[in-house]
């Protein structure tokens, strides 16, 4: 404001004296020069020496950079001159003392930082040395433990984390040493204990082997008993059936003897007439026919029984036609149906030719048949049993034999147990519980196939036997 008053009066001389006394252009802080310029930039007043040129004003954005690097900020502001003209007031503001003070403070800070870093480094090195020494001690002790020296112990000093770690290490080494000693003691007696245990196991194995052999022998005896029981039932049926044709033949033969004796008497008495002789010949013809018919019937039954009996008691392998095999078994099966209103249907394909074991297969069919008679039609007056067979599989290398009845069926809870040994619902009433078990074993172990049952209580039962046309030899050997 003071400068503006003198400038408006055009008293620049007084302004210059005022600034010359107040300013020092060699000063390192504060205002160092003042210059007044007219509107065209011509210098009207300057406190600078003649050799010093007027500097370009510093932009506001560069104030900080000029203050820190150049040490001087050049500022130019508008100024009202005489006659209402507008000029400029430019002045310089020195920051060298601030820069020097900042530089000195930075140096002192650097010295302090260096001293602190040096002290920190020394402390770190000292602590690192202590930690390294103690860790090295632990490492050496650990290596000794690995080598088998379990009685290791390290020195503990202080109460820091390493001291706690050292204490834990000593405790660990003590426990390891203790356990190793215990294991050593156990190992010293281990061989004796192992030998004793081995002896006990060998004795147990011998006992188990003996028991297993006994069970196998018992099973074989039971299977043979079941086979003999089946064969006995078959013998009883055949014997009963043979009684009729043999009895008829015996009656005819007796009558024939009587007729022959009567004819001889007539001939001896001379009373033999032509008509009587013709009647005698007719009687002979009828008797011969009846004898032949009944003897052939008995012969068929005996042949069928012989075939079945041989097959059931033999496990020889041979090639056979399944339809012919079942047809040989059919008369014997039908014998057991005469006293009951049961029908037997047989539907076997002609082309099922097998290389297998007819004996076990016959035993399976006969056991399934007896199972149906015993269980399926116990409380039924009428029923039907069907045996069917055909080729099966994509390559037609298997035979599927279906044995079904329309009897009482099997309860669901018993389906999973029907093939178990000694499982029967007729124990003490003719059922041994081995019939279906024997069937299952024969089909799988001898014939090399599978046996499954499909049944629903009140809707009959079906057994499906799937066996290869060519029975595997390895199963039979086992």
Note the pLDDT tens digit of each residue in 311-347: 544 567 889 999 999 998 888 888 778 777 889 999 9
CA distance 46 to 16: 7
What confidence tier does 48 reach under pLDDT thresholds 50, 70, 90?
confident
What confidence tier does 198 reach under pLDDT thresholds 50, 70, 90?
confident
Structure tokens at 437: 């078990």
Domains recognised in the chain with CATH numbers:
2-94 (3.30.450), 320-478 (3.30.565.10)
- Mean per-residue pLDDT for 144-151? 71
**Mean of pLDDT over the chain:** 77
Which comes out higher in pLDDT, residue 395 or 252?
395
Which comes out higher in pLDDT, residue 237 or 200?
200
Helix (H, G, I), strand (E, B) or coil at 296: helix
- Mean per-residue pLDDT for 96-106? 78
Share of the chain above pLDDT 70, in %: 77
In this structure, how many other beta carbons lie within 10 angstroms of the beta carbon of residue 211? 10
Which comes out higher in pLDDT, residue 413 or 173?
413
Nearest to 26 by CA among 104, 124, 97: 97
- Mean per-residue pLDDT for 259-273? 76
Most confidently predicted of 3-17, 31-45, 142-156, 333-347: 333-347
| CB burial string 223-249: b at 16+ within 10 A, e below | beebbeebbeebeebbeebbeebbebb
pTM of the full structure:
0.43
The pLDDT value given to residue 194: 80
Which comes out higher in pLDDT, residue 421 or 356?
356
Residue 152 has pLDDT above 80, yes or no: no
Q: Which long-range contacts (CB under 8 A, 24 or more apart) does 387-396 make?
A: 387/326, 387/344, 387/345, 387/346, 387/347, 387/348, 388/346, 388/347, 388/348, 389/322, 389/323, 389/326, 389/347, 389/348, 389/349, 389/352, 390/349, 390/352, 391/349, 391/351, 391/352, 391/469, 392/466
Residue 266 has pLDDT above 70, yes or no: yes
CA distance 133 to 158: 14
Residue 3 has pLDDT above 70, yes or no: no
The pLDDT value given to residue 355: 93
The pLDDT value given to residue 478: 42
Which comes out higher in pLDDT, residue 154 or 193?
193
Residue 419 has pLDDT above 80, yes or no: yes
Nearest to 151 by CA among 124, 129, 128, 178: 178
Q: Which of 180-189, 215-224, 234-243, 407-416 has the lowest mean pLDDT?
A: 234-243
Q: CA 38, 39, 40, 41: dihedral to nearest 10 degrees?
A: 50
What confidence tier does 79 reach under pLDDT thresholds 50, 70, 90?
confident
CA distance 182 to 186: 6
Share of the chain above pLDDT 90, in %: 14
- Mean per-residue pLDDT for 126-155? 74
The pLDDT value given to residue 323: 94
Which comes out higher in pLDDT, residue 190 or 18?
190
Nearest to 365 by CA among 456, 234, 240, 239: 234
């Amino acid at each position: 404001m003071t400068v503006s008053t003198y400038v408006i009066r055009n008293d620049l001389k007084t302004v210059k004296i005022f600034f010359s006394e107040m300013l020092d252009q060699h000063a390192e802080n504060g205002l160092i020069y003042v210059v007044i310029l007219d509107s065209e930039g011509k210098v009207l007043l300057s406190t600078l020496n003649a050799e010093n040129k007027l500097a370009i004003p510093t932009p506001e954005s560069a104030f900080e950079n000029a203050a820190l690097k150049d040490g001087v900020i050049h500022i130019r502001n508008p100024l009202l001159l005489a006659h209402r003209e507008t000029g400029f007031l430019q002045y310089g503001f020195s920051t060298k003392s601030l820069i020097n003070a900042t530089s000195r403070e930075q140096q002192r800070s650097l010295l302090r930082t260096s001293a602190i870093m040096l002290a920190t480094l020394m402390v770190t090195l000292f602590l690192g040395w202590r930690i390294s020494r103690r860790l090295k001690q632990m490492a050496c002790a650990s290596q000794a433990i690995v080598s088998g020296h379990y009685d290791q112990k390290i020195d503990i000093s202080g109460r820091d984390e390493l001291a706690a770690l050292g204490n834990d290490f000593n405790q660990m080494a003590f426990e390891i040493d203790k356990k190793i000693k215990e294991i050593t003691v156990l190992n010293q007696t281990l061989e004796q204990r192992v030998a004793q245990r081995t002896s006990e196991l060998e004795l147990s194995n011998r006992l188990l082997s003996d028991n297993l052999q006994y069970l196998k022998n018992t099973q074989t005896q039971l299977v043979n008993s079941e086979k003999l029981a089946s064969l006995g039932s078959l013998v009883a049926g055949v014997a009963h059936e043979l009684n009729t044709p043999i009895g008829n033949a015996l009656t005819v033969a007796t009558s024939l003897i009587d007729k022959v004796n009567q004819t001889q008497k007539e001939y001896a008495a001379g009373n033999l007439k032509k008509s009587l002789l013709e009647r005698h010949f007719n009687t002979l013809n009828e008797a011969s026919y009846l004898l032949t018919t009944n003897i052939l019937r008995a012969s068929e039954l005996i042949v069928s029984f012989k075939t079945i009996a041989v097959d059931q008691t033999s496990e020889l392998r041979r090639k056979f036609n399944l339809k012919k095999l079942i047809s040989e078994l059919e008369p014997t099966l039908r014998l057991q149906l005469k006293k009951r209103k049961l029908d037997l249907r047989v539907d076997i394909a002609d082309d099922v030719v097998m290389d297998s074991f007819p004996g076990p297969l016959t035993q399976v069919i006969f056991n399934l048949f007896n199972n149906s008679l015993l269980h399926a039609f116990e409380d039924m007056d009428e029923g039907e049993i069907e045996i069917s067979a055909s080729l099966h599989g994509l390559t037609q290398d298997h035979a599927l034999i279906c044995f079904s009845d329309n009897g009482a069926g099997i309860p669901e809870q018993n389906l999973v147990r029907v093939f178990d040994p000694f499982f029967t619902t007729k124990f003490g009433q003719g059922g041994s519980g081995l019939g279906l078990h024997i069937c299952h074993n024969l089909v799988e172990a001898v014939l090399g196939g599978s046996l499954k049952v499909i049944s629903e209580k009140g809707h009959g039962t079906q057994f499906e036997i799937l066996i290869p046309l060519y029975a595997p030899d390895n199963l039979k050997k086992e």
